[in-house]
C-alpha cells in the first residue's frame, strides 16, 4: 500500500464540550500516514475517510495520550528549583531527560507537585475533522519520515 499524506482541519474538545485546540483560521494540518505523528485512535478513523468528508471522531484516552500514570507525579522540594524562580501552577519545564516535560500541578509550602504525564493523558477526546486532501507521499517524505511543503516540515 502506498504511503499517503493526509491533510485535514480539526476542532478538538473533551467529552464535556470544552475546546482544547482547533485549526480554524489556520492552515490545515498534514501528516504522513503510519509514522505516528498523530494519535492512533484518530489516524485509524481517518484512514476510512475521503477528501471533503466531515466526521466526528471520539477517541478514548487509551488511544489518545494514554491513561494518567501515577508514577510520573512527583513531590519535589522547592530547594531543587532556582531560588528566584516564580513558580506557578501550569508552568512547564524540561528535565535532564530529553523529551520529558513536567507541569507544576500544585504548590505547597516546602515542595512542588509536578506531573510528567501529557496534559491530555486520561482525557477522552472528540475531534470534528474535515479531510481536505489525500495524496501519495514523495520518496523524500517517506525517507525523512515527515511531510514537506504546505502544512508540513520545511527544510532550510
Cα distance between residue 74 and residue 108, in whole Å? 12
pLDDT above 60: residue 153: no
What would the mean pLDDT of 134-150 be, rounded to a whole number?
A: 88
Q: Give the CA-trace dihedral at 17, 23, 24, 25, to 10 degrees.
A: 150
pLDDT of residue 89: 96
Stretch 142-155: mean pLDDT, rounded?
71
103 bridge partner residues: 92, 115
- Fold equal for 4-65+121-144 and 70-115: no
Q: Does the domain made of 70-115 have the CATH classification 2.40.10.330?
A: yes
pLDDT at residue 85 in the model: 86
**Which residue ranges make up each domain of the chain?**
4-65+121-144, 70-115
Q: What is the pLDDT of residues 102-134, one digit of tens each?
A: 999 999 999 999 999 999 999 999 999 999 999
State yes or no: pLDDT of 155 exceeds 50. Answer: no
Over the chain, what is the mean pLDDT?
A: 91
d(CA 38, CA 30): 10
- C-alpha separations of 143 from 16, 77, 146 in Å: 40, 45, 8
Residue 63, sorted as left (phi over 0), alpha (psi -120 to 50) or beta, turns out to be alpha
Q: Tens of pLDDT along 22-61?
A: 999 999 999 999 888 899 999 999 999 999 999 999 999 9
Q: Report residue 150's pLDDT band, with 50, 70 and 90 as the boundaries.
A: low
Q: For the domain made up of 4-65+121-144, give the CATH fold.
A: Chitinase A; domain 3 (3.10.50)
Amino acid at each position: 500500500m502506498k504511503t499517503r499524506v493526509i491533510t485535514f482541519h480539526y476542532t478538538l474538545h473533551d467529552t464535556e464540550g470544552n475546546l482544547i485546540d482547533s485549526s480554524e483560521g489556520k492552515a490545515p494540518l498534514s501528516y504522513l500516514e503510519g509514522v505516528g505523528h498523530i494519535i492512533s485512535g484518530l489516524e485509524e478513523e481517518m484512514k476510512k475517510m475521503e477528501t471533503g468528508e466531515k466526521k466526528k471522531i471520539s477517541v478514548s484516552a487509551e488511544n489518545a495520550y494514554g491513561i494518567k500514570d501515577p508514577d510520573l507525579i512527583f513531590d519535589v522540594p522547592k530547594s531543587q528549583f532556582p531560588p528566584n524562580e516564580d513558580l506557578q501552577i501550569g508552568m512547564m519545564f524540561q528535565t535532564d531527560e530529553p523529551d520529558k516535560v513536567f507541569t507544576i500541578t500544585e504548590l505547597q509550602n516546602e515542595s512542588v507537585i509536578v506531573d510528567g504525564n501529557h496534559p491530555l493523558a486520561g482525557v477522552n477526546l472528540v475531534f470534528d475533522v474535515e479531510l481536505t486532501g489525500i495524496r501519495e507521499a514523495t520518496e523524500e517524505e517517506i525517507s525523512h519520515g515527515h511531510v514537506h511543503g504546505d502544512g508540513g516540515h520545511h527544510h532550510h
